Structure 1
Amino acid sequence: MSAAELSIVFFIQLFVIVAAARLIGWLGKRFLGQPQVVGEMIAGVVLGPSLFGMLLPDLSAMIFPAESRSILYVGAQLGVGLYMFLVGLGFDRSHFRANVGSAGAVSLSGMAAPFLLALLLAPWLLSEGLFNPEMSLAEASLFLGACIAITAFPMLARIIHERGLSNSPLGTLSLSAGAIDDACAWGVLAVVLAIFGAGAAVAVKAIVSALAFAVLMVGFGPRLFARLGAEAEKKGGIDNALLGIVLMLFLLAAFAMDWAGMHAVFGGFLLGVAMPRGVLTREIRARLEPITVVLLLPMFFTYSGLNTKLGVMTDPALFLIAAAILAASILAKFGACWAAARLTGQDNATALGIGALMNSRGLMELIIINIGLQRGLIGVEFFSIMVLMAVVTTLMASPLFEIVYGRKARQRGELGALAEVTDDPDGAAVSTRGPAPGPR
């Protein structure tokens, strides 16, 4: 296929991707009360071989030819990298530091239970050929544990902020525990990526480089970038020159983590965490968030969907594995976080609400398994199973939270109508605003 033909296909792809994402996202919001991002996740699966490719295989092959996958992949990586940069911009460092101790029990339980169940499930999955045969039991267990332990932190934070629950026991514990859980899960994934098939020297390079970059960004980044924040405050906004500097920093951060043997999303997130808060972050989000969440992020969902083959569930053995992983994921995350919250003195409704929020996997899960697929840790069968788990646990989050916590909280006058979370179908990153309604 020539460059001109690829260009034509690319624009048609983007039209189909954006149209499907907006339509299915709207339907999910209108009839199921789900955030836009959940509909976009489902749209990605719909456009893949599980539905579109099965019903209209010729049309699917024409719109998504194999030769165009590499272009779609690059766009998807840019989208998810910028998304994680936006998530980092909204990460509340002071809130995290203030509550890291009180959230320890919930976080530890939310990590320990998934990794324990992963250790029990990994031998079975290895014997079924769902992992790369060169992976050791320890590597497979760690990767599976990270997949089960991850939390949809941006969605969790969005629900909490927009319900005005940031200073409540539920908000404090959930935000802090979710941040700790995801940081640990990403750390475990980093170790697996560094060790698997790379050799000691490459693994050491990746781990040391990633740790050094994290220390630089978290420890010194706020001071290094303070001048950018001061310039934005002085001007009352950002001009194209300042935006260009920020984008160049993002690209360098993404490159640094890719070069180190990790992944661009690590660089984007850590840079976002390090950026000075105030006018700078608010204006960066205003400039970057619309194009990221409306155009680029759906490319990532579609690329994931094109690698998802839910038809494998017709195999009884794989269906049993999928059911076992889904049950183990819910039991490990929801059950462990609920129990830990109860043991730390929370009432039952609050503990159940924490468990419901922490159980959602969302986009974070898709990022992890896409990295695993890209690096050859897993195959399409396991990838498809984990996409299903991510979609189901994400769909559960809002209605389950409403059942176990929302109704009781409204009766006590602690929050407004839960429908406010999805009033605005746009937006995706964690908001730095207070409880006022905002995107997603």
Structure 2
Amino acid sequence: MPSFLDLTIHFFLQMVVILAAYRLVWQLFKRLGQVQVVAIMAAGFLLGPSVFGAVWPSAQHWLFPTTLSIGGQSIPHPSLTVVYVLGQLGLVLYMFLVGTSFRTSILSDHIKVAGITASAGVIVPMALGGLTGYLLVGQGDYFTGKVHAWQGGLFLAAAIAITSFPMLAWIIHDSGLHNTRLGTMALSCAASDDAVSWILLATVVATTKSNMNGAILALAGGVGFVVFMLVVGSRALRRLDAWGEREMRSGTALPVGPFIAMLLVLLASAWFTDWVGVYSVFGAFIAGVVMPRGRLLDAVRERTEPIVSHLLLPAFFIFTGLNTKLSLLFHPATLIVVGVVLVISFVGKFGAVTLAARWQGMSWREAGSMGSLANARGLMELVLLNVGLTQGLINQSLYTILAVMTIVTTFVATPIYRMFERSAWKNGMVFGADGETARGEPTSVVAEGKPPSAVSA
């Protein structure tokens, strides 16, 4: 068993390799019109058994050990646990920062469009995924023996319907869309999609254990938490902002007391939503949404965002990459399933969201952008797959199929969005707070009036 010192030394080396690999991949990906989070995700898969492990198996297993043999039994390696916990911390902190940038005023102005578009983005992919999952149960080594056909349908419905809220948030931030109707609506739809998907997953997990209490707790706890934070928590937190303002007037750049109080609210929110089964990122995001806007919050964002985004979050992706094995796909029947899953995942999301947004009055370019961004499944899809695997719902083959789908759909999301953005720019339009508007109007929001190619990726 490795000592604490051994784990610490090994962890430092792992982080050096993860960050170096991510920066190297980023040099290529930024030329492909991608954002940094996609490069981080790709680096995680490249360092896993499918690429690094195929080229140099002994080195990959030594650097990122997943199991440890004790007394003839194989157990999870403590090094893997360290990486997992660090990744979860990064994920929670990042979602808090996303919540602090969320503009509820734009959402309230377009709540009807957001609701209808989000519903279409859930219902159509759920139907396609549910039917596919129902048919896959018993047709191969995809689901475990304890999963019935209807449960398999619900699981795949959740997997196809989900949009990665954290991934989309990063794309929107890096693309300069966080103060636009498009960015706010896309995030709102992603939040709804993820909530529905997690309730479906909780139902599947609960029913395989012959216990529906988990699904009921997830639904009641999640809704109750959101209502409490929006009604009670937001009012109580105004005192926190006033406290921070008093401290900053005296010359303190980042008051320690208010900052610690903010962290306590964040971590307690993440713990509660994890405990009820809705997942910690939702609690972290809501905690960020209800935080009062002011100098204190600006200071927190400025000082924490770089370390969270570029040090802590990459650990999550390497953990996921270690569970993906592309060698499992090289079978004719499996390749057919890969093709079917890719088609229904992309077409179901893009088509449903685009048509619904257009029906609600968005221009074709803005609606198409919504549809393309909805396909960014990244983080949340990978989290869902990890739950399915660790809970004994799916086998390694389906995990890898859905991981490949995640990579492909997330990879194409940004280039397709940029295609619509360039089309708008060529026609003298930009995506602003009130939708697609003429360049130069006060409501237009594009990185300092620069063309899309100049926006930071």
TM-score by length of 1: 0.86
Q: Tell me how far 1:222 sits from its aligned partner.
A: 0.8
The answer as to whether partners of 1:194 and 1:206 remain within 8 angstroms in 2 is: no
Alignment-derived partner of residue 220 in structure 1? 232
CA shift at 1:351, angstroms? 3.0
* Equivalence for 1:144: 156
Moved more, 316-325 or 299-308: 316-325
Indicate conservation of the 8 Å contact 2:102/2:178, yes or no: no
Cα distance, 1:2–1:101 mapped onto 2, change above 3 Å: same
Q: C-alpha distance in 1, partners of 2:257/2:333?
A: 56
* Deviation digits for residues 328-379 of structure 1 (CA, Å, limit 9, x no counterpart): 0011011112222333344433332222222222223223222333333323
Name which of structure 1's ranges 94-103 and 114-123 shifts more when overlaid on structure 2: 94-103
Give the alignment of 1:374-389 within 5 angstroms.
374-389=390-405
Residues 1:398 and 2:397 are matched in the alignment: no
Q: After TM superposition, list the pairs within 5 Å mapping 1:77-96 onto structure 2.
A: 77-96=88-107
Counterpart amino acid of residue 355 in structure 1? G
Q: 1:43 to 1:342 in 2, by over 3 A?
A: same
* 261-270 or 76-85, which deviates more: 261-270
| Deviation (angstroms), 1:187 | 3.9
1:201, CA displacement in angstroms? 4.1
1:425 counterpart residue number = none
1:214 counterpart SS class:
helix
Q: Give the structure with higher Rg (CA).
A: 2
In the TM superposition, what is the alpha-carbon distance from 1:294 to its structure 2 partner?
1.2
Q: Distance in 1 between matches of 2:102 and 2:184?
A: 14
2:73 alignment partner in structure 1: none
Whole-angstrom CA distance in 2 between matches of 1:186 and 1:105: 20
Which stretch of the first structure deviates more once superposed, 379-388 or 289-298? 379-388
CA gap of 1:138–1:270, structure 2 versus 1, over 3 A, is farther
CA contact (8 A) 1:190 1:207 kept: no
Aligned-pair distance for 1:122?
A: 1.0
Contact 1:99 1:172 in 2 (8 A): no
Query: 2:441 is matched with which residue?
Result: none
Counterpart in the other structure of 1:7 = 8
The higher relative CO (CA closer than 8 Å, separation ≥ 6) is in: 1
Distance (Å, rounded) in 1 between the aligned partners of 2:390 and 2:302 = 31
Q: Among residues 347, 356, 365, which one is paired with 1:340 in the alignment? A: 356
Residue 412 of structure 2 corresponds to residue 411 of structure 1 = no
Does the CA contact (< 8 Å) of 2:103 and 2:179 recur in 1? Answer: no
Cα–Cα, structure 1 residues 42 and 268, in superposed 2: closer, same or farther, change >3 Å? same
Amino acid paired to 1:335? G
TM (norm. structure 2) is 0.83
SS in structure 2 at match of 1:225: helix
- What's the CA shift for 1:43? 0.3
Q: CA deviation at 1:141?
A: 2.4
Q: Give the aligned partner of residue 48 of structure 1.
A: 48
Q: Which residue of the partner structure matches residue 102 of structure 1?
A: 113
1:165-184 equivalences in 2 (<5 Å): 170=182, 173-184=185-196
Amino acid at match of 2:108: R
1:255-313 per-residue CA deviation (whole Å, 9 max, x = no partner) reads 22333344332322222222222323322222322221111111100000000111111
Give runs of aligned pairs for residues 238-387 of structure 1, distance below 5 A: 238-387=254-403
2:196 aligned partner, one-letter code: C
Question: What residue in structure 2 maps to residue 233 of structure 1?
Answer: 245
The 1:172–1:206 alpha-carbon spacing in structure 2 relative to 1, beyond 3 Å, is: closer
Alpha-carbon contact 1:162-1:435 (below 8 Å) kept: no
Query: Does 2:75 correspond to 1:59?
Result: no
CA distance, structure 1, for counterparts of residue 39 and residue 174 of structure 2: 20
What's the CA shift for 1:406?
A: 2.2
- TM-fit CA distance, 1:44: 0.3
Shift of 1:401: 1.9
* Aligned position for 2:25: 24
Unaligned runs of 5+ in 1: 417-433
- Equivalent AA in structure 1 for residue 429 of structure 2: E
Task: Give the Cα–Cα distance (whole angstroms) in 1 for the partners of residues 23 and 210 of structure 2.
Answer: 41
Aligned 8 A contact 1:45 1:302 in 2: yes
Unaligned runs of 5+ in 2: 68-76, 432-444, 449-454
Partners of 1:412 and 1:163 lie apart in 2 by: 19
Which residues of 2 match residues 190-209 of structure 1 at below 5 A?
A: 190-197=202-209, 199-209=211-221
For 2:143, which of 131, 141, 156 is the aligned residue? 131
Residues 395-415 of structure 1: CA deviation (Å, up to 9, x unaligned): 112221233x22321122223
Of 198-207 and 40-49, more deviation after overlay is shown by: 198-207
Q: Which amino acid aligns with 2:395?
A: G
User: Separation in 1 of the partners of 2:422 and 2:446?
Assistant: 18
Secondary structure of the corresponding residue to residue 2 of structure 1:
coil
In structure 2, how many angstroms separate the alpha carbons of the residues matched to 1:172 and 1:250? 22
CA RMSD of aligned residues (A): 2.8
* Alpha-carbon separation, structure 2, partners of 1:348 and 1:257: 37
Shift of 1:159: 5.6
Q: Mark the CA change 1:182 to 1:201 in structure 2 (over 3 Å): closer, same or farther.
A: closer
Q: The residue matched to 2:137 in structure 1 has which SS?
A: helix
Decide whether the 8 Å contact of 2:133 with 2:155 is kept in 1: no
Verify the 8 A CA contact 2:96 2:284 in the aligned structure 1.
Answer: yes
Of the structure 1 ranges 157-166 and 289-298, higher mean CA displacement relative to structure 2 is found in 157-166
Kindly state the Cα deviation for residue 89 of structure 1 after the two structures are TM-superposed.
2.1
Q: Measure, in 2, the Cα distance between the counterparts of 1:107 and 1:344.
A: 12
Residues 1:376 and 1:439: Cα distance change in structure 2 (over 3 Å) = farther
The Cα of 1:223 is off from its aligned counterpart by: 1.0
Distance 1:25 1:371, change over 3 A: farther
Runs of 4+ in 1 over 6 A off after TM superposition: 161-169
Gap change, CA 1:131 and 1:215, over 3 Å in 2: farther
Change (3 A) 1:142 1:230: farther
1:422-433 pair list within 5 angstroms: none
* Paired letter, 1:188: L
Q: Match of 1:381, SS?
A: helix
Amino acid at match of 1:218: L
CA distance in structure 2 between the partners assigned to 1:79 and 1:224 by the alignment: 26
Contact 1:191–1:207 at 8 Å: present in 2 too?
no
Name whichever of 93-102 and 369-378 sits farther off.
369-378
| TM-superposed deviation, 1:165 | 6.2
* Secondary structure, counterpart of 1:49 in structure 2: coil
Aligned counterparts of 2:292 and 2:179: Cα–Cα separation in 1 = 23
Taking every aligned residue pair, what percent have the same amino acid on both sides? 41
1:208 and 1:107 map into 2 onto residues whose CA distance is 21
Aligned position for 1:112:
123
Q: Could you say what secondary structure the match of 1:415 adopts?
A: strand
Partner AA of 2:99 in structure 1: G
Distance (Å, rounded) in 1 between the aligned partners of 2:206 and 2:294 = 36
Cα shift at 1:117: 0.3
Quick one: which amino acid aligns to residue 17 of structure 2?
A: V
